Amino acid sequence: MADVLLNPKWGYRFLLLLLCAVILFLNLLPINTAPRAWGAPDLIPCLIFSWTLRRPSYAPTILVALIAFSADMILQRPPGLFAAAFLIANEFLRSRAADISTGTFTVEWAYVALALTAAVLFERVLLNITLVDTNPLRLTLTQLVITLLAYPAVAAFCHFALKLRFQSPSDVRMEGAIQ
């Protein structure tokens, strides 16, 4: 039991939950109430994608689903729609994490851009099919581009500030022995 409590993976899981809660709190603050011509970056997908690519066991699917669904509810998006699209994109990245870790940052960024773009387009198409009012396409695409431009900063924060590095083969062996 003590091994489980001292395992750093639980600390990183709690830290991920805490950082996402802080991001959601900051999204709710009424800093500027006038409508803008651009969308602010969605930092939660950036943070979770970076976390999942570096240490897949530190961001379990259940935790990611809980965070994504909570974000849908708190930000008043259609419940579960972006969470489902985001979870599919996250699992796509999780399945490619070993390949991405051996490449350069450009490869990682391209995979994240592909996954996030697919998730946003999936959500947008489903909302249009069901005739739900949506933001203008220009605003959605602007937010997507700004989010993708924010990914390197979030990845650098995870790498340098949080010391969240890519898994090495020895880490995988050690992690398997702990569980």
Question: What pTM does this model have?
Answer: 0.88
Predicted local distance difference test score (pLDDT) of residue 178: 45
∠ CA 13-18-23, nearest 5°, is: 125
Place of tokens 């003590």: 2
Residue 96: φ, ψ to 5°: -105, 5
Residues in the chain: 179
Which residue, among 137, 143, 165, 133, has the nearest Cα to 45 in the 3D structure?
143
Q: What is the pLDDT along the chain (179 residues), one digit of tens a residue?
A: 455 556 788 999 999 999 999 999 999 888 777 777 777 899 999 999 999 999 999 999 999 999 999 999 999 999 999 999 999 999 999 999 989 989 899 999 999 999 999 999 999 999 999 998 888 889 999 999 999 999 999 999 999 999 888 877 656 545 554 44
Rounded to whole angstroms, the Cα distance separating 167 from 146 reads 28
CB neighbour list of residue 50: distance below 8 Å, 6 or more residues apart: 112, 151, 154, 155, 158, 164
pLDDT of residue 134: 87
- Written as one string, the DSSP assignment of 138-160 is HHHHHHHHHHHHHHHHHHHIIII
Task: Work out the end-to-end distance of the chain between its first and last CA atoms, rounded to an integer number of angstroms.
Answer: 11
Best CA proximity match to 163, nearest among 58, 44, 62: 58
pLDDT for residue 177: 43
